[in-house]
Chain A
Amino acid sequence: MDEVVRIGIAEYAVSQKPIILRTAGLGSCVGVIIYDQERGLSSMAHVMLPDSAISRNVALEIGKFADTAVVELARRLRHSGAIRLRAKIAGGAQMFQFKYEHESMRIGERNIAAVKLALRKANVPLVAEDVGGTNGRTIEFHSTTGRLVIRTVNVGTLEI
């Protein structure tokens, strides 16, 4: 069994060895996995918001925003010798069905769109996704197989 690295909300990790990357309790946040399976390189971020423009100290919050997280993961993997990067994403749910209008209402959708845009800009093909809906997700990426296991408390487990 490979070592499990836990990634907290708004955090990220990059690995050059066989590993299991795990992040728990994704709601409107999006879990982004970028990897090069042939070269054993993998990374994951727990993205909370679409755009780092609102940040006052981006250096402290790289993993928090779709734009900065994707750029950083791709940059670090390529720096370590990645050639054929692929991405998988999961999350972006709407946890609360609000009866009133509020900006955070559609944050899940906006996160998904922002992550996809950032992946396109970084030239990383998206090969699998499990996004949207109304359920929280815990995800586990197995770097040796490239499998992403997605667990929910209300609708069971899925693998992409």
Chain B
Amino acid sequence: MANYGYTAIVVAWLARLNPFYIAVASFLLAGLRVGVESLQLDMQVPAAFGWIIEGLVLLSVLAGGLLHYVSGHPALMDIAILIPLLAATVQSGTPILYATSG
């Protein structure tokens, strides 16, 4: 499962182009990649599953930008950062949980 360049884009946007959040986002996506590879080994789920999730995460982040845009309100902007991060945690955590428990 190569294509690290695409993942870099997902990381950058998940971090809302903020260098500090990059560490968090890249850690989560690294978890997703490793988790998906264990899934492939243990349960014969094609690793391409990880790409689907990455694509969906990025699409959700972009769509979530509307919240940011409509309000312009600082508190809502924080939520706009947190929601995709939370969503990514859930989405990347699921395969990791499967991999560790299975």
Are A and B interaction partners?
no
On A, residues with C-beta under 8 Å from B are: none
On B, residues with C-beta under 8 Å from A are: none
